[in-house]
């Protein structure tokens, strides 16, 4: 299967989990990665700057109407939903919160599944709510690959457990195994 993009959702404990994945990817990793990490609406761009300094991949906050490019990692800006448009550009929205969150993992996952269908990989990481569970289910129903961080390896297991309830066909992997798995897919 030729995958075209990866979407990742994380919440409580996500900074460490995302660091494990991003730093575990090879420098020639080409699949674009689009991430929603639940953060305070008043946060600055620390995460993007931090990851861009330590990662061999180009990491940045997503901009409105920005084309999705290979080898890039895009983070949802604070207090904006991040969506993927049909023309494979990113868009930002300040519509109502979904699952008490803006950015919402479900919104990213659902819009990305419409665009890439079976060519999409969705990953749910650590977190303390159920955001992303229904979006991951949509990715799986569209034929995409659903991956969930094993609850035992999650700092907060609620989000992975909720995703497992919604998406029983998902691949469950310990956090440290996810980057190696993605590197093999990207060969």
CATH number for 24: 3.40.50.180
How would you classify residue 152: left for phi > 0, otherwise alpha for psi between -120 and 50, otherwise beta?
A: alpha
* Enzyme catalytic residues: 11, 38, 131
Domain assignment present for residue 128? The answer is: no
166-169's contacts with Cβ under 8 Å and 24+ in sequence apart are: 166/133, 166/134, 166/136, 166/137, 167/133, 167/136, 167/137, 167/140, 169/140
Domain assignment present for residue 66? The answer is: yes
Q: For residues 28 and 26, give the distance between their C-alpha atoms in angstroms, rounded to a whole number.
A: 5
Which tens digits make up the pLDDT trace of 73-95? 999 999 999 999 999 999 999 89
Which tens digits make up the pLDDT trace of 30-82? 999 999 998 877 787 788 999 999 998 999 999 999 999 999 999 999 999 99
Domain assignment present for residue 129? The answer is: no
Q: What is the domain count for the chain?
A: 1
Domain assignment present for residue 24? The answer is: yes
Which domain covers residue 93, as residue numbers? 5-118+135-185
């Amino acid at each position: 299967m030729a995958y075209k993009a990866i979407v990742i959702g994380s919440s409580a404990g996500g900074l460490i989990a995302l660091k494990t994945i991003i730093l575990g990817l090879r420098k020639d990793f080409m699949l674009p990665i689009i991430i929603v990490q639940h953060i305070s609406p008043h946060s600055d761009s620390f995460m993007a700057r931090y990851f861009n300094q330590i990662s061999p991949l180009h990491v940045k906050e997503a901009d409105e109407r920005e084309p999705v490019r290979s080898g890039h990692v895009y983070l949802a800006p604070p207090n904006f939903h991040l969506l993927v448009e049909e023309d494979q550009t990113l868009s930002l929205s300040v519509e109502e919160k979904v699952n008490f969150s803006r950015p919402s993992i479900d919104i990213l996952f659902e819009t990305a599944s419409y665009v890439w269908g079976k060519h999409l990989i969705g990953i749910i990481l650590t977190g303390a709510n159920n955001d992303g569970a229904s979006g991951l289910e949509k990715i799986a129903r569209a034929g995409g690959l659903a991956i969930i961080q094993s609850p035992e390896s999650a700092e907060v297991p609620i989000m992975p457990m909720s995703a497992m309830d919604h998406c029983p066909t998902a691949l469950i992997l310990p956090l440290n195994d996810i980057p190696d798995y993605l590197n093999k897919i990207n060969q």
